[in-house]
Structure formats: C-alpha cells, structure tokens
Structure 1
Amino acid sequence: MQASSLIVRKAVAGDAETIFRFTAGLIEDHLPGQPPWVSVEDIKINGFGSDPLFEALIAERDDQPIGFVSFFRGYAGWRGKPMGIVHALYVLPEERRSGAARTLMAGVARIALERGWIRIELFVEEGRPALSFYERIGMRDLHHRHLRLEGEALSNLARI
C-alpha cells in the first residue's frame, strides 16, 4: 500500500460511530466476545461535548477510515510538565503494516510538540505484538506494572 494515499485528520463529533466501531475492534482483539462497554453516545459526550476527556485522530485511505488513535493530556509530576497519554490505537487488520499506525502516532507526536508536552506515554499488555511496534517508533519500555483499582476494591478503599 502507498503511504502517500494515507491521510490523518482530527476527529470530529461525526466520527463517533467510527471511533465506536474501532474501539469495538480493539476490544475484540484483546477480549474476544466481549461487547463494548462504551456507546456511540458516550463517545460523542466524552470526546466532543462541553468538557472533552479525550481527542482523536482518524486515519483514512481513499476517503475510508482505517484506524484511529485517542489521547489526552496528562501531567508529568516529577518534571512539572504536561504530557500526552495515548489511550487507544487501532488499525483495521487488513491495513496493519501499511504505515497507518506510525502515521497516527506521528500525528500525536506533532501535537505534543506544538503544545509543549514533554513526552507521550501509553500502556501495553505484556506479550502483545504492539510492544515491538512501539519500540520500533522509539518508545522505551519502562517495565512498570500498570495497576488498577476499580469496583468493590475501589469502594472498599474509599470507605477507610
């Protein structure tokens, strides 16, 4: 595939259905059979409402969406600087290894530099093939454990 026919653009509210479809594909890649927890309406409100929680870029080839990346601003507390956190990156299976994922991440990198973000971070499950892709584009594996507090454990801790 020709990388030149690939374009990346900022997602708009009208892309909520596409983002939902790609999110469902990402969930299916990680947890086959698991229905999405998010809805198109959630995406519209959370990404394009009055207080957006994330931004997204859409990759298109021949005017057809083939992938997306979602990200948000975070804070690098030890450095006292803003940073970007990539939440999701997904490219349709038939478009993988076409340069789309690299181009999407390059778009986030440009935004980071424009906004003065010190770095971009993301989380990858151990053993996922995506880890080698991220290392190839220059990301460094910090070997940190990603921990989560939710559900009953979250409620129990909050009661202390």
Structure 2
Amino acid sequence: MKDSALRIRSATVDDHRPGQTPWTSVERVRADGFGPDPLFEALIAERDGKAVGFVSFFRGYAGWRGKPMGIVHALYVVPEARRTGAARALMAAVARVALERDWIRVELFVEEERPAIRFYESIGMHDLHHRHMRLEGAALERLAQTSL
C-alpha cells in the first residue's frame, strides 16, 4: 500500500472519518466543523482515491507565550494503512498549517503507555509528562453550581 501515492487534502462537509463511527450526528459535525464559525479543521489522507486517515485540529492559545498554537484533537489511520507514512504525512500537513499561521507549536494529548507515543516522539514531539484532566457530566454541573 505504501507504493501508491498518498494525497493530503482538506476535509469537506461530505467526508466522514474513515474507519470510525462518530459518537455524534453528522449534522452536529457539519455545523461545528463546516459552518460559519468552524470549531475545528480536518485533513484527509487518501491513497488511490480512498480515505485512509484523517487528522482534526483546532487553534488554541499559549497564554504564557502570548501566541496561538495548534491542538490536534484526533489522528487516525485505518489499520491496513498503518506504517505506510500516512500518519506522518498528516502531521506534517498540520505542521505546515502551524508555520503558515505563525502558531508557536502543535500539541496533542495521548494516554500514558500508548504505542502511539513512540510515533509522536519519532516526528519530534516530546512528552511533557502532564496529566490530561477532564471535567464533564455530573461533576461539571456540580462545580458550576458552586457558589463563590
């Protein structure tokens, strides 16, 4: 599969994530990513006209540095296309976007002990050893109701 030309392109409203079913509706993804104020961007990797991977990302802000940055939300390559350069090509495309837009860096979160960490390190990312914390559901509601 690696011998076929790989193409990276911007996702369109008609794309879907190859190999995965979203936990939300297509309408919600269309509104959030392709509406008048998109909350994320996505790139698609294609080989022989077939989607083999995607990366979604959004702009964040590095407060201590006073500069925008990119945050990768998801990187996925279908199992049969892994280790063919698709993930590297997708991350390289995000890196080009970051440089074009004067973003100071690109970050992502990955669970501890995941094999993907080795891939991210191989492309030059380094592990900050920060815990990725999440507040959601009932805990989010409880905290929001806390008075001053």
In the alignment, the residues of structure 2 paired with residue 46 and residue 121 of structure 1 have an alpha-carbon distance, to the nearest angstrom, of 21
Q: Which residue of 11, 29, 46 corresponds with 1:60?
A: 46
Higher helix content, 1 or 2: 1
Gap runs ≥5 in structure 2: none
Q: Which residue of 73, 92, 104 corresponds with 1:118?
A: 104
Q: Which residue of the partner structure matches residue 33 of structure 1? A: none
Q: Which residue of the partner structure matches residue 28 of structure 1? A: none
Question: Structure 1 counterpart of 2:27, which letter?
Answer: E
Cα root mean square deviation, aligned? 1.3
Number of positions where the alignment pairs a residue of Structure 1 with one of Structure 2: 146
Q: Which residue of the partner structure matches residue 11 of structure 2? A: 11
Return closer, same or farther for 1:128/1:152 CA change in 2, 3 Å cut-off: same
Are the counterparts in 2 of residues 86 and 121 from structure 1 also a CA contact under 8 Å? yes
Write the mapping of 1:11-160 to structure 2, written as runs, cut at 5 A. 11-15=11-15, 18-19=16-17, 21-24=18-21, 36-160=22-146
Query: CA offsets per residue over residues 81-128 of structure 1, 9 Å max, x none?
Result: 000000000000000000000000000000000000000000001111
Return closer, same or farther for 1:47/1:22 CA change in 2, 3 Å cut-off: farther
Give me the identity figure in percent. 69
Please state how far the C-alpha of 1:22 moved relative to its aligned partner: 4.0
Q: Which runs of 4+ in 1 moved over 3 A?
A: 1-4
Normalised to the residue count of structure 2, the TM-score between the two structures is 0.94
